[in-house]
A and B are shown apart, each in its own frame.
Chain A
Amino acid sequence: MKNILRQFITDNFLFGLQGQSFSDDDSLLEKRIIDSTGVLELIAFVDATFGVKVQDDELLPENLDSINRLVHFIEKKSKAAA
């Protein structure tokens, strides 16, 4: 899952540029990897790829603002749905 998310972020927001490195814990907002509307692209991808719908009250940096936070959030939502 981490790799899929990293690949999407690298392709979609960093356009494949390897020099723009970021760790699994880096804040995507603080590193300005995604802008204010980039998060909308991110949740559309999470829905399409993992079948996880992000509710309005879940649209929080603590759920979505790093690879590790995304993984944790998607796993939690998937378990709840199972």
Chain B
Amino acid sequence: MCGIAGIINPPGSEADPSLLRHMIDRIRHRGPDDSAVYVKDRAGLAHARLSIIDLTSGQQPMHNETGTVSIVFNGEIFNFPELRDGLIKQGCRFRTRSDTEVILRLYELKGEDCVHDLNGQWAFAVWDARQEKLFVSRDRVGIAPMFYTQAAGAFIFASEIKAIFADPRVARRVDIAGLNEIFTFWVNLPPRTFFENICELPPGHSLVLQDGAVRVACYWRLDYPTSGSPRHIDERECAEQLLELLVDATRLRLRADVPVGAYLSGGLDSSVIAAVVRRYTETPLKTFSVSFEDAEFDESRHQKEVAGALGTEHCEVPCSYGDIGRVFPRVVWHAEKPILRTAPAPLFMLSRLVRESGYKVVLTGEGSDEIFGGYDLFKEAKIRRFWGVRPESQMRPLLLKRLYPYLPKLQAQSPAYLQAFFQVGDSYASSRLFSHLPRWELTSKLKMFLSPEVLQSSAAEDPYHRIEAQLPEGYDRWDPFSRAQYLEAEYLLPGYLLSSQADRVAMAHSIEARYPFLDHRVVEFANALPPRLKMKVLREKYILKRAAGGLVPESIRNRAKQPYRSPDSQSFFATGAREYVEAALAPARVARHGIFHAAAVLKLLEKVRRGQAIGIKDNMAFVGILSTQLAIDQFIDHFGEVQ
């Protein structure tokens, strides 16, 4: 991955190379190996390079032979050797061995349709001076970031918002509707972001700027079979096909001119990827993990077990409460929006370890839970629906006890309270958003901390109406399980897991993460399967576990799902954190920013300080409010001062 930025000024106004240099300097962490700026009349492109493929001749911005088409590209096209061979057969000539040049040639041949041929993770921008046209594209599932805005007649884009803010024509303001979305869904619904007038290009979309008009179009979307579609599937054959696909997806993602490592969480998904590398390739593998001093979060025993079984060279970074608190402001700087959990912070530390170990690229198991139905939320929705059919049942509530075994405080609840909490058999039943409403309703309670002015302003729009308006054609005909998968994969995956918790904290230390489970062939294969092969009764990721038979240790294959989590509010009161926390949440600062109710925030701070914030809601509120305050400090009040 790299960093890209660009400006297309209105006709007659030449792009300013020093401004482009300033923009790309803001995101040099994405590409510390090289950087360059190109200006031609009103168009300017900038690139910060993380050299991974074709280390000697892949410099960007890159141009066609006549200099009329130019590209900046962030990401990887994993099938570029095959595409290149095909293009050579069609008469194309290449000057480099890079994937960038393959995109350039494909664009010249196919125009906007070039994206359909690509297997990879990308955000790129092509300036076609022949047509005075900018073509921008982002990968199918949203691995590589891309933001844009329009100011003073100029179109400005970049991999990260901080590069866009380097242009003094761009106003830096909080978008209250964007904040309202984060305090409902944890994420923004693209194109909206946390900042007013800053747009995110949605995953699977391309953008064209021509004649002053912006056109955004979807070229790929998640799709699922219609509910009840009869389809006989041989499970053994299906598991074999899946393994074959995963092997190929992983093999493609080992293509690099630098060594590739892998994250190991101790769970099934990353273990499968590491095992595929060891079993099906000749690649020696180094694996990386986070361990926690608090046993509630620590999975190092399982990580070591997998590393030992697979014979990888393994190293880990220990993470204490204090560590999380100390790195958190840097994490917010990279996430560029409020976050409601601290989970990105340990991964920020992990990418630092990878960098210090001399690696630039890691494989991860991200995406598997979305496409194979691994999260407890899917199980929860299934139980709620099952129970809702017979709300008077005395047996069905007992199933709720099987949810979230890793949350001891939730396990301490009586069945009666679990029933009330999970809202079984209530008015949610008819909602199109059924699976996610308990989570979103709980998150929405954080809005009670908003100041009266912000609360009033945010009431102008109902986030549920907005998300319902975005649901695709066919959504209502999908199985309820598929609908839950869609909501998770369409929104939380790109908006949080692949960004705040992946790309942004990995690129903070110039590390590129690659995701074999998110190869679009794997995604399409998984999405086409009937839900019964994903969750069999209440056994999650059934078909993946079947495919992984004999590949990973049985104890890992049969291990109950433990999602990656990290300590929240208790992380902020060690030396190195307490001081900035007290400053960020001081009543005068909170009142000055005007987003939150200062007195209520103070009471929350006191509760956290006393160690009494044990619930999910209090913890989310604390982390969400703190990160919002820090984001405003860093991006609005003191933007020029942050390094």
Q: Name A's B-contacting residues (CB within 8 A).
A: 11-12, 14-17, 19-20, 27, 29-30, 32, 34-41, 56-57, 59-62, 65
Q: Cβ of A40: which chain B residues have Cβ within 8 Å of it?
A: 409, 412, 614
Nearest CB to that of A33 among chain B residues? B445
> Known contacts being A29-B420, A35-B421, A56-B414, is A17 close to B597, with CB within 8 Å?
yes
Residue B93 interfacial (CB < 8 Å): no
Q: Find out whether the CB atom of B615 lies under 8 angstroms from the CB atom of A32.
A: no
Q: Cβ of B442: which chain A residues have Cβ within 8 Å of it?
A: 32, 35
Picked from A20, A27, A36, the residue with its CB within 8 Å of the CB of B615 is: A36
Q: Find out whether the CB atom of A61 lies under 8 angstroms from the CB atom of B417.
A: yes
**How many B residues face the partner with a CB closer than 8 A?**
28
Picked from A11, A35, A39, the residue with its CB within 8 Å of the CB of B616 is: A35
For the complex formed, measure the closest distance between the CB of A36 and the CB atoms of chain B, giving whole angstroms: 4
Nearest CB to that of A31 among chain B residues? B445
Most buried by B among A15, A30, A32, A39: A15
> Known contacts being A15-B600, A17-B597, A41-B614, is A36 close to B417, with CB within 8 Å?
yes
Q: Can you list 5 residue pairs at the A/B interface with Cβ under 8 Å? A: A20-B448, A34-B615, A36-B417, A41-B612, A61-B417
Nearest CB to that of B419 among chain A residues? A61
Q: Find out whether the CB atom of B600 lies under 8 angstroms from the CB atom of A36.
A: no
Most buried by B among A14, A27, A41, A57: A41
Picked from A17, A34, A35, the residue with its CB within 8 Å of the CB of B448 is: A17
Q: Cβ of A60: which chain B residues have Cβ within 8 Å of it?
A: 414, 416-417
Q: Name B's A-contacting residues (CB within 8 A).
A: 409-410, 412-414, 416-418, 420-421, 441-442, 445, 448-449, 452, 597, 599-601, 603-604, 607, 612, 614-617
Picked from A14, A19, A29, A59, the residue with its CB within 8 Å of the CB of B421 is: A29
For the complex formed, measure the closest distance between the CB of B289 and the CB atoms of chain A, giving whole angstroms: 29
Shortest beta-carbon contacts, A-B, top 9:
A59-B414, A15-B600, A37-B615, A15-B603, A35-B617, A36-B421, A37-B409, A29-B420, A60-B416
Picked from A11, A32, A41, the residue with its CB within 8 Å of the CB of B603 is: A11
Q: Find out whether the CB atom of B615 lies under 8 angstroms from the CB atom of A59.
A: no
A11 to B417, CA, bound (A): 22
Q: Cβ of A61: which chain B residues have Cβ within 8 Å of it?
A: 416-417, 420
Nearest CB to that of B605 among chain A residues? A15
Q: Cβ of B615: which chain A residues have Cβ within 8 Å of it?
A: 34-38, 41
Q: Cβ of B413: which chain A residues have Cβ within 8 Å of it?
A: 36, 39, 59
Extra pairs beyond A19-B448, A61-B417 (19, CB < 8 Å) = A15-B607, A16-B599, A17-B448, A17-B597, A17-B600, A19-B452, A27-B420, A35-B442, A35-B445, A35-B615, A35-B617, A37-B409, A37-B616, A38-B615, A38-B617, A39-B417, A56-B414, A60-B414, A61-B416
A10 to B348, CA, bound (A): 37
A80 to B606, CA, bound (A): 36
A56 to B414, CA, bound (A): 7
For the complex formed, measure the closest distance between the CB of A49 and the CB atoms of chain B, giving whole angstroms: 14
> Known contacts being A15-B449, A56-B414, A59-B413, is A37 close to B614, with CB within 8 Å?
yes
Q: Cβ of B441: which chain A residues have Cβ within 8 Å of it?
A: 32
A11 to B599, CA, bound (A): 11
Nearest CB to that of A58 among chain B residues? B414
Picked from B416, B418, B420, B448, the residue with its CB within 8 Å of the CB of A14 is: B448
Q: Find out whether the CB atom of A59 lies under 8 angstroms from the CB atom of B417.
A: yes
For the complex formed, measure the closest distance between the CB of B324 and the CB atoms of chain A, giving whole angstroms: 21
A10 to B237, CA, bound (A): 58
Most buried by A among B409, B414, B607, B612: B414
For the complex formed, measure the closest distance between the CB of B568 and the CB atoms of chain A, giving whole angstroms: 13
Q: Cβ of B597: which chain A residues have Cβ within 8 Å of it?
A: 15, 17
A27 to B600, CA, bound (A): 22
Picked from B418, B601, B603, B604, the residue with its CB within 8 Å of the CB of A36 is: B418
